[in-house]
Amino acid sequence: MQAKLDTPWHIGTVEIPSRIVLAPMAGVSVQAFRRQGRRFGAGLVCSEMVSCAGLQHRNERTLGYLRIGADEHPLAVQIFGAEPSVMAEAARQVEDAGADIVDINYGCPVRKVTKTGAGATLLDDPERACAIVAAVAEAVDVPVTVKMRRGLANGSRTALSVGPKLVEAGAAALTLHPRSAKQMYTGTADHSLTAELVELVDVPVIASGDITSRARAHEVLAQTDAAAVMVGRAAQGNPWTVGEIAGLSGGRPSREEIVAELLLFMEDTVREMGEERATGFLKKFYGWYLGRGRFPKPFKQELVQLATVAEVEERLLAAAPGAAELLDGLRAELPEVEHTTLDLPVSIYAGG
């Protein structure tokens, strides 16, 4: 019987309250994004990729710190790299910081990652891929999961041969984005492959790719018998899609609701990164929030040109004065939480 989206499930010993997972996305999945996703119904949230080489050598320019709030749990921290021992040490550090799950990236198709032997490249080196999973699983007490593509080339079925081996090596769950690395984000996700993977392994499989609505989420769960769905690009500047999939909200948000959520996101991002970093980081989010026909295109372009976050806030409130009251309501609903600061460099993509 198909699982309902609002029913709990487990990865190892970690209970997840809904079957909606917010994807790890480079330059996107900062704490503000994760916290917002949780408010809109995501059962599991994920950090963006953390470079294990950066953690080992500490010579990567520090663009910020990974902060874990008590309201983010359960939280998966995703790591990437190509050396088992280095990955194992990185996993220990993120477990110590409070991560509930360590996720390993075997799916990133970006050249900056694959040229180092990490990301999707590891699907063509199953011996090393399994050695990394085994080393990480041995190093930590929390569950270890893997996110992967179908393979490097279009039409590849590599995930079906490598996936069961990763489970044997210690993976407690698998996420499959059934596009090839060559496809990047073009074409469509072939979830018939996800269904085949579900049949091959005895751990939860998360279906990733083209999950854009509640109807589509139900369709993919029915087609694949996957344990959960992962929402990625559809959630960028659009938490209402997560809410619609979760059955918590529906319909188009008003201009005031859009501006209130954006302003709260901006506040949280500045608190996390500091104003200087946040000013540049936030610019791509203006287009995501204000696009989709919600605001005139020149308005977004105007915001990008402003020099400070405060100027952007002022302009947004001038465009939607009613957002101020909604923002006060959102602030009042937020829990008072302490944060753990993980004193480590974050993803090489952080900051956009």
Which of 125, 140, 14 is CA-nearest to residue 79?
140
Active site residue 130: no
Lookup: tokens for 287? 């287009």
Q: Which of 46, 52, 108, 130 is catalytic?
A: 108
d(CA 22, CA 245): 12
Lookup: tokens for 339? 């944060």
> Alpha helix (H) ranges present in the chain?
31-39, 52-57, 84-96, 111-114, 126-139, 158-169, 191-200, 214-224, 239-246, 255-273, 275-281, 283-290, 297-305, 309-319, 323-333
Inter-helix orientation angle 297-305/309-319, to 10°: 150
Residues 6 or more apart whose CB falls under 8 angstroms from that of 190 comprise 150, 178, 179
Lookup: tokens for 345? 């460099």
CB 228 within 8 A of CB 16: yes
> How many secondary structure helices (H) and strands (E) does the chain include?
15, 13
Lookup: tokens for 203? 């751990």
Q: Are strands 50-51 and 44-46 parallel, antiparallel or unpaired?
A: unpaired
d(CA 11, CA 226): 13
The catalytic residues are: 108
